[in-house]
Structure 1
Amino acid sequence: MPTLIDVFAALPGAIATDGVLIHLGDPMREQRRLLAGSAVAPLGDRGVIEVAGEDRLSWLDSITSQAVAGLRSGDSTELLVLDPQGRVEHAAGAFEDGSSVWLIADAADVEPLAAWLKRMVFRSRVTVSVRPELELIGFFAGGDADAAVRAIAAAPGGTPLVWSDPWVAVQPGGHQYANVAEHPAGEYAWRVAIVEADAVASAISTFEAAGILAVEALRIAAWRPRWASEVDERSLPHETDWIRSAVHLNKGCYRGQETVAKVHNLGHPPRRLAALHLDGSDDVLPEPGSAIFAGDAEVGHITSVARHYEDGPIALAILSRRAPTAELIVRTDTVDVSAAQQVIVPADAGATADVPRLTRLSRRPEGQDPRRA
């Protein structure tokens, strides 16, 4: 049976490698088609995990950052698995269809996430299964592609498996650190359908296609973090504004919650996400991992980079909290690239949140007899 990439790689002009469709000859045009809702993108760089069993929702609620216990059939959300120090270990989109929760994760994290989940089952009535036979198609809502993909999406429980990315808006229990009047995610109506390759093969003539270069450019422009790009062994969800969509600040206990609450209440995460508009005059696109400098001081690194159809060369970067908000320099092997910076997560992120604080125990109302305290 052909894989999803086999189906799309047969299209004219398609360039694919390592199971991922890169582009079909014109990534800029592909971006426009995606946004217009007329194109779809095979997502060979992601995979699917099924969590089934009658305890699935309460169990996931107890071990992840998101409040999922009340999900209903057709609901989408996003969750993180944190270590005891609150650092991000795993991330996944989650879709409930009434009988299973379907997790969508970056390919390199599918097996580790599934293995961790299996270790956490204990006596819960839950099963965890990696589903390699199921594949993923991304598209934007509102166009011709929307109805066409939903028609071929897998629906084992009767509900088409189509995940709606919650990044489009601040989710219940979440908080946005980006201090902007209009967040670029406001128009990021991204959807991911879980499909079987043979269903796509029979409908391929109805689709225009786009590659991962187009998908990534639109993600970066929306300031959307991704496990495969923005996460390292030090990452806190606050640093990338991920509390916006993947953390519920008011839910019950879970691993790493103490750090999440502390950093949110007191502020000052050690690093912060920034959007960069790169100088394109030398036609050099820095690689992810490229070092960023403010004067002679190294202050961070590129995490994601792309050429956007309107904005030109753009990037996301993780910077030191103390990095200046002025223009920066990205150092490549051949040339230094100037980068205008747009702050996403402020240096005082968390301290600006409207969080009530308890009166210090050592303070008493004026005139109160301390012997009666």
Structure 2
Amino acid sequence: MTELPVLHRSPLLDRPGAVAGEGLAAGVAIHYGDPMREQRVLEEGLAVVDLSHRSVLTVSGPDRLSWLHSLTTQHLVDLGVRESREALILTPKGHVEHSLHLVDDGKTTWITTEPGDGDGLREWLDRMRFMLRVEVADVTADWGVLGEPHGAESAPGEPLAWRDPWPDLVGDTTAYGPVEDHPGTRWSWREVIVPRASLEEAVGDRPLAGLWAFEALRIAAWRPRFGAETDHRTIVHEVDWLRTAVHLHKGCYRGQETVARVHNLGRPPRRLVFLHVDGSGHALPSAGAEVRAGERVVGHVTSIARHHTDGPIALAVVKRNTDPELVLDVEGVSAAQTVIVSP
């Protein structure tokens, strides 16, 4: 992904206490003055998060679903009106190239993707249209995204929203244990797509939570995010994306051979882990920091946050053969690991 220019500054940055993000968080607030309280209110299902820095694309035309089905990791030909799914676009060698959150309104498929990735996704989709009856458009200038717990009271009427499938935990693809004990079952999330001019009206009187609060709860749920837990080498098995973003029994798509081979052999080169980081110090290690087992570098931190009850927590990608019983080291700070993807 490329760094996002501040093309669409959110009007919600004018709310009291708003602190603007930088880089890929530019244009929205990282917090509104009290990140810990914002976490608690968001966890209770009462707050909303400004995600209007996300890119929004539309795909229209009668061939849209069959076309997207053929290009992505997901089964989409039977996608119903207002149903949503998560899909990935892979390279020919099976590395994750784009992440798509899709919802269809019966005439148009709406896609939201990470900040900075919209241009690249649109250009690639345009190149793949050939003679099919599809039209791709980047509508980020006119449409924004608000994140909220699924089931929260939203704007009047039934909003067009992508519902995160993570808590459904389709299939037991982790090493954690019983699916019902997975922390992801407590993650309930959706992205509501609203006209950019109506962002303030859609929020109404509800309290706002910043990106820091959202990230802390996402990390606690072990939920991978494109551009954070991924790099140019990532395959879906490493970050536990098989459960929500890949349909293992659909037809051919780019990168499918790698998905099938690693799924059958069960040996991805790296694996996602959850870290409880020692919180006795004042400073948190940084995202991207090396993770060490003794003197040996075994991976790197992908996301880190300070959770309102669990303290410093992180996600990291480490070498598959890293001993899951080891206490790891991150910038001189000890970090106890919990297995997410089986070694």
Instruction: Measure the CA separation in 1 of the matches of 2:214 and 2:71.
Output: 30
Q: Residue 330 and residue 83 in structure 1: after superposition, are their counterparts in 2 closer, same or farther (change >3 A)?
A: same
Q: Residue 175 and residue 264 in structure 1: after superposition, are their counterparts in 2 closer, same or farther (change >3 A)?
A: farther
Q: Deviations over 1:318-372 (max 9, x none)?
A: 00011111100002xxxx110000010011xxxxxxxxxxxxxxxxxxxxxxxxx
Q: Deviations over 1:195-215 (max 9, x none)?
A: 123323335442210100001
Instruction: Measure the CA separation in 2 of the matches of 1:314 and 1:293.
Output: 16
Equivalent residue, structure 2, for 1:86: 94
Equivalent residue, structure 1, for 2:12: 8
Equivalent residue, structure 1, for 2:153: 147
Counterpart mapping for 1:302-341 below 5 A: 302-325=301-324, 326-331=326-331, 336-341=332-337
Equivalent residue, structure 2, for 1:131: 139
- CA-CA distance at 1:287 after TM superposition: 1.0
Instruction: Measure the CA separation in 1 of the matches of 2:264 and 2:58.
Output: 35
Equivalent residue, structure 1, for 2:257: 258
Equivalent residue, structure 1, for 2:119: 111
Report SS of the residue matched to 2:217. Answer: helix
Instruction: Measure the CA separation in 1 of the matches of 2:104 and 2:244.
Output: 16
The equivalent position to 2:78 in structure 1, one of 60, 70, 73, is 70
- CA-CA distance at 1:45 after TM superposition: 3.6
Counterpart mapping for 1:1-373 below 5 A: 5-17=9-21, 18-132=26-140, 133-142=142-151, 146-149=152-155, 151=156, 160-171=159-170, 176-181=173-178, 182-202=181-201, 204-325=203-324, 326-331=326-331, 336-347=332-343
TM normalised by structure 1 equals 0.85
- CA-CA distance at 1:140 after TM superposition: 0.4
Q: Residue 203 and residue 4 in structure 1: after superposition, are their counterparts in 2 closer, same or farther (change >3 A)?
A: farther
- CA-CA distance at 1:235 after TM superposition: 0.2
- CA-CA distance at 1:160 after TM superposition: 2.9
What amino acid is aligned across from residue 330 of structure 2 in structure 1? V
Q: Residue 273 and residue 103 in structure 1: after superposition, are their counterparts in 2 closer, same or farther (change >3 A)?
A: same
Identity of aligned residues (%): 48
What amino acid is aligned across from residue 148 of structure 2 in structure 1? F
Instruction: Measure the CA separation in 1 of the matches of 2:8 and 2:309.
Output: 30
8 Å Cα contact 1:5-1:42 kept in structure 2:
no
8 Å Cα contact 1:274-1:341 kept in structure 2:
yes
Instruction: Measure the CA separation in 2 of the matches of 1:175 and 1:255.
Output: 25
Instruction: Measure the CA separation in 2 of the matches of 1:231 and 1:246.
Output: 14
- CA-CA distance at 1:116 after TM superposition: 0.7
Report SS of the residue matched to 2:116. Answer: helix
What amino acid is aligned across from residue 226 of structure 1 in structure 2? R
Q: Deviations over 1:124-179 (max 9, x none)?
A: 1111111122111000023xxx3333x27xxxxxx6311100111234xx652243
What amino acid is aligned across from residue 140 of structure 1 in structure 2? P
Greater CA deviation, 202-211 or 215-224? 202-211
Q: Which contiguous aligned blocks of 4+ residues in structure 1 show a shift greater than 3 angstroms? A: 3-6, 202-205
8 Å Cα contact 2:194-2:202 kept in structure 1:
no
What amino acid is aligned across from residue 15 of structure 1 in structure 2? V
- CA-CA distance at 1:96 after TM superposition: 1.0
The unaligned stretches of length 5 or more in structure 2 are 1-6
How many residue pairs match? The answer is 329
Instruction: Measure the CA separation in 2 of the matches of 1:48 and 1:76.
Output: 14
Report SS of the residue matched to 1:206. Answer: coil
Q: Residue 203 and residue 129 in structure 1: after superposition, are their counterparts in 2 closer, same or farther (change >3 A)?
A: closer
The unaligned stretches of length 5 or more in structure 1 are 153-158, 348-373
What amino acid is aligned across from residue 147 of structure 2 in structure 1? G
- Tell which structure's C-alpha radius of gyration is larger: 1
Report SS of the residue matched to 2:228. Answer: helix
Q: Residue 4 and residue 26 in structure 1: after superposition, are their counterparts in 2 closer, same or farther (change >3 A)?
A: farther
Instruction: Measure the CA separation in 1 of the matches of 2:271 and 2:130.
Output: 37
Report SS of the residue matched to 1:340. Answer: strand
- Aligned-residue Cα RMSD (Å) equals 1.5
